[in-house]
C-alpha cells in the first residue's frame, strides 16, 4: 500500500481548494423534492384545450341579466370558451309553450331570441339542453326540488312534444341560419337517472323521450347535432349507445356528468374510497372505454357537467384548492374526452334560491358581485398552456409547448381537503436557449381574494367600494421573473399552490 503524506500547510490548502470548488459549482445542481427535465426531444402529442371549450351556468332566464353577461364576458376574455350550457330553456318562465282555451298549442320565441342573441353577441354559442317540461304539456304535476320548480314528467302527448321541438328548431334555423345552428349541440334533458326525470321506469321512458326528440330535430335538418343521455354519475352510456344503434336513432355525441365527490358505488358499483383528485378522470376513462367497446367507437364524449364538488363547500370551490385540483384533472383526463364543461362559470345561479352572500361554496368561477375566485385565476393561468404536451413522469407537472416554440409549464402542490401538507420544491432542468422564466402563482398570497374579504369583515352585502377592492385583490399581479443558472431553476410551492412557468428563449 502506498501512502501519500502531506504537510499541515498542504492539507489546509487542499481543504480550501475543495471548499472553493464546491462554492463555484453550487449553482450547477439545483436540489428539490422533485427533479423535472424539460426535453424538447421527448415524446409529445396534441393537447387541445378540452377543459375550457364550454361552461355551465344558471338557468336560461338568468342569461338576460346584465350581471350574468358581465361575468360571461370576463370568463370569455380569460378562457375564450365557445359554448355555454344551462337548464330550463323550455320552462314556463321562458314562455315558449302555451295552449289556448281550445287546447291548441301556441309558441312564443321572444325570450328565446333574447337569450341566444345575447350569447352570440358575446362570442359564445349555446349547448342547448332541452329541458324542462312546460307545465301545460306535462302528463302530471311532478316537480323537481330546485327553487324555480321545474316540471319533470313526460309529455302527456308525444305528438305535441314532437311539434314543440320541431317548431323550436325550425325557428332557430330561420333566425340564425343552418350554418350557424349546425355548430350548436342539442342535448336531450338533464340527468334522467336522478329526480330530474319523472318517467317510470326512468331508463325506458327516457329512451322514448330521446327517440322522439332526436327524430324531430333531424326532420328539421339533418345537420343538427343531437345527443344524450346527459346522465349523472357517468351512467347509462353503454345501454344508451346500444339502444340508439338497435333502434337506428340519430346520435351525434354522448354526454354525461361526474363530480369529484361522487361515490364509487354510484359511478362504478364498487365500495372503493376513490380520492377527489381521481374520481372525475377515472369516470372519464370508464366512459371512454365503454364507447370504444361499443358499436359506435368513435362517438365524441362530452362531459356536460363536472366539478370538484356538487355540494356547496367553500373550502373547495371558493378556495385555492381548485388550482391544483383542476391542473391535475387536465393531466389525468387528457385524451379521454372531446370537451368538458365546468359547472359553472358564474354564481349568478339560483337553484337553491337567491344568493345570500358572495362566498358560500357556489359552483361559479365568479362570486356574486363579479368577484373572480381562485378557480377563475386557475382557468386563466391554464389557458396559457400550449397545444402540444410533452411526456414527463411527474404527477405535479404539465409540460406544454406553444406554436412559437415557447414552453409553458404548470406545476402544483395538491393537498387533499382537510389534510396538512408541506411545501414542495421542484427543480426544473431546461433546454438549451432558455434564459428566463416568468412565473404566475396562485396560492394564499397570490390571486386568493378570500383573505381580503375576511379582513374587511366578510360583509354579506359588500358596498360598491368594497366590491372594487375585492376585484382588485383577486388579481394575480405581474409575472415574477427568475433567472436560469446552468439550465436549471428551483421553484417552491406551498400547499395547494399552482404555478405556471413561461420559459423565455434566447
Residue 255 in contact with residue 230, Cβ under 8 Å?
yes
Question: Would you call 93 a catalytic residue per the annotation?
Answer: no
Which of these is catalytic: 129, 187, 305, 502?
305
The x, y and z cell numbers of residue 75, run together, are 370568463
Q: What are phi and psi of 411, to 5 degrees?
A: -130, 145
Residue of 58, 56, 54 whose CA lies nearest to 355: 58
Across 8-95, the runs of DSSP E, i.e. the strands, are 34-37, 44-46, 54-56, 83-86
The catalytic residue among 52, 129, 187, 191 is 191
Max CA separation in the chain (angstroms): 116
Q: What sections of 100-195 are H helices per DSSP?
A: 110-121, 158-176, 178-181
d(CA 318, CA 180): 36
Q: How far is CA 394 from CA 40, 102, 390, in A?
A: 16, 68, 11
Q: Positive or negative, the Cα torsion across 68, 73, 79, 82?
A: positive
Q: How many CB atoms lie within 10 A of CB 42?
A: 11
Work out whether strand 434-442 and strand 371-372 pair parallel, antiparallel, or are unpaired: unpaired
Listed residue (287, 380, 368, 289) closest to 326, CA to CA: 380
Grid cell in block for residue 336? 379521454
Q: What are phi and psi of 29, to 5 degrees?
A: -125, 120
- Where do the DSSP E strands lie in 362-473? 366-367, 371-372, 388-390, 397-401, 407-412, 424-429, 434-442
Q: Mark whether 351 is an active-site residue.
A: no
* Residues with active-site annotation: 191, 305
Amino acid at each position: 500500500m502506498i501512502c501519500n503524506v502531506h504537510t499541515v500547510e498542504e492539507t489546509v490548502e487542499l481543504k480550501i481548494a475543495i471548499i472553493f470548488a464546491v462554492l463555484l459549482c453550487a449553482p450547477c445542481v439545483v436540489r428539490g423534492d422533485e427533479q423535472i427535465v424539460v426535453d424538447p426531444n421527448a415524446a409529445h402529442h396534441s393537447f387541445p384545450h378540452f377543459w375550457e371549450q364550454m361552461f355551465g351556468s344558471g338557468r336560461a332566464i338568468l342569461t338576460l341579466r346584465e350581471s350574468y353577461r358581465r361575468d360571461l364576458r370576463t370568463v370569455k376574455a380569460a378562457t375564450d370558451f365557445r359554448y355555454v350550457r344551462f337548464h330550463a330553456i323550455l320552462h314556463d318562465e321562458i314562455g315558449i309553450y302555451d295552449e289556448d282555451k281550445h287546447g291548441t298549442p301556441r309558441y312564443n320565441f321572444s325570450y328565446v331570441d333574447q337569450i341566444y342573441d345575447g350569447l352570440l353577441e358575446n362570442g359564445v354559442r349555446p349547448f342547448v339542453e332541452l329541458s324542462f317540461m312546460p307545465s301545460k304539456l306535462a302528463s302530471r304535476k311532478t316537480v323537481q326540488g330546485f327553487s324555480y320548480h321545474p316540471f319533470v314528467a313526460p309529455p302527456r302527448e308525444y305528438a305535441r312534444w314532437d311539434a314543440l321541438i320541431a317548431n323550436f328548431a325550425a325557428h332557430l334555423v330561420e333566425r340564425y341560419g343552418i350554418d350557424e345552428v349546425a355548430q350548436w349541440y342539442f342535448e336531450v334533458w338533464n340527468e334522467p337517472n336522478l329526480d330530474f326525470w319523472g318517467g317510470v321506469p326512468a331508463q325506458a321512458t327516457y329512451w322514448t323521450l330521446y327517440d322522439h326528440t332526436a327524430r324531430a330535430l333531424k326532420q328539421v335538418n339533418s345537420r343538427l347535432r343531437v345527443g344524450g343521455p346527459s346522465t349523472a354519475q357517468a351512467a347509462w352510456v353503454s345501454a344508451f349507445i346500444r339502444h340508439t344503434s338497435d333502434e337506428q336513432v340519430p346520435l351525434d355525441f354522448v354526454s354525461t356528468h361526474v363530480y369529484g365527490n361522487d361515490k364509487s358505488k354510484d359511478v362504478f358499483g364498487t365500495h372503493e374510497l376513490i380520492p377527489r383528485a381521481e374520481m372525475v378522470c377515472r369516470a372519464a376513462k370508464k366512459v371512454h372505454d365503454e364507447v370504444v367497446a361499443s358499436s359506435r367507437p368513435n362517438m365524441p364524449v362530452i362531459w356536460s357537467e363536472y366539478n370538484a364538488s356538487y355540494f356547496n363547500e367553500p373550502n373547495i370551490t371558493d378556495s385555492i384548492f381548485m388550482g391544483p385540483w383542476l391542473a391535475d384533472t387536465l393531466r389525468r383526463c387528457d385524451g379521454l374526452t372531446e370537451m368538458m364543461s365546468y359547472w359553472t362559470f358564474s354564481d349568478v345561479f339560483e337553484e337553491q334560491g337567491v344568493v345570500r352572500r358572495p362566498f358560500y361554496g357556489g359552483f361559479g368561477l365568479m362570486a356574486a358581485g363579479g368577484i373572480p375566485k381562485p378557480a377563475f385565476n386557475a382557468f386563466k393561468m391554464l389557458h396559457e398552456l400550449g397545444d402540444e404536451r410533452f411526456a414527463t413522469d411527474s404527477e405535479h407537472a404539465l409540460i406544454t409547448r406553444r406554436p412559437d416554440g415557447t414552453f409553458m409549464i404548470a406545476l402544483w402542490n395538491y393537498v387533499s381537503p382537510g389534510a396538512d401538507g408541506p411545501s414542495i420544491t421542484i427543480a426544473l432542468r431546461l433546454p438549451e436557449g432558455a434564459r428566463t422564466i416568468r412565473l404566475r402563482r396562485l396560492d394564499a398570497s397570490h390571486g386568493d381574494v378570500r383573505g381580503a374579504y375576511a379582513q374587511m369583515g366578510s360583509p354579506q352585502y359588500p358596498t360598491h367600494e368594497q366590491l372594487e377592492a375585492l376585484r382588485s385583490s383577486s388579481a394575480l399581479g405581474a409575472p415574477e421573473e427568475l433567472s436560469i443558472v446552468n439550465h436549471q431553476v428551483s421553484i417552491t410551492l406551498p400547499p395547494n399552490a399552482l404555478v405556471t412557468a413561461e420559459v423565455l428563449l434566447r
